């Protein structure tokens, strides 16, 4: 799965994050860091606390992605034993929406085809600010 979403990101230019859903604590929020929020990146030996004013995704336990969704936290990393993943692909400009939707559709199609997984796509935007997993 990591290869699929990294290839999608490289091909399309849209950043992609993938988190182990079972490792997420509470809700995920897109927010601005106050600075110093704890963060341990995947495969990094040293912690890298969030910078003041940096855009981050966080759950109730701390930062799950830094630099928007460019760097994911080790504690929520998708692994070989992950059975459910929460993925997000960012689109920051409305004029890129058609390309963004094509990238999302291509990635979900490949995940279904090559991994036999079921996917569900939900878009979050100004009018739809939350996703309910129930």
Asked if 23 and 76 touch (Cβ cutoff 8 Å), the reply is yes
- Looking at the domain assignment, is residue 123 inside a domain? no
Quick one: pLDDT band at residue 70, thresholds 50, 70, 90? confident
Which domain CATH number covers 42? Answer: 3.50.40.10
Expressed as residue numbers, the domain containing 67 is 2-115
Q: Tens digit of pLDDT for each residue in 73-128?
A: 999 999 999 999 999 999 999 999 999 999 999 999 999 999 999 999 998 888 88
Quick one: pLDDT band at residue 129, thresholds 50, 70, 90? confident
Distance CA 96, CA 82 (A): 31
Mention every residue, 6+ apart, whose C-beta is less than 8 A from residue 1: 18, 78, 85, 111, 115, 117
Q: Tens digit of pLDDT for each residue in 19-45?
A: 999 999 998 999 999 999 999 999 999
Number of other CB atoms surrounding residue 48 within 10 Å: 14
Distance CA 81, CA 14 (A): 26
Q: pTM value? A: 0.88
Domain count, the chain: 1
């Amino acid at each position: 799965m990591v290869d699929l979403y990294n290839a999608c990101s490289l091909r399309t230019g849209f950043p992609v994050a993938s988190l182990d859903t079972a490792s997420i604590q509470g809700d995920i929020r897109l927010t601005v860091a106050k600075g110093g929020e704890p963060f341990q990146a995947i495969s990094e030996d040293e912690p890298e606390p969030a910078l003041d004013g940096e855009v981050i995704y966080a759950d109730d336990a701390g930062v799950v992605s830094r630099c928007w969704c460019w760097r994911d936290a080790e504690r929520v990393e998708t692994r070989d034993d992950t059975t459910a993943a929460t993925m997000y692909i960012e689109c920051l400009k409305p004029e890129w929406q058609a390309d963004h939707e094509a990238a999302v559709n291509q990635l979900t199609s490949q995940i279904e085809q090559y991994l036999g997984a079921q996917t569900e796509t939900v878009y979050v935007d100004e009018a739809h600010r939350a996703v309910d997993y129930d």
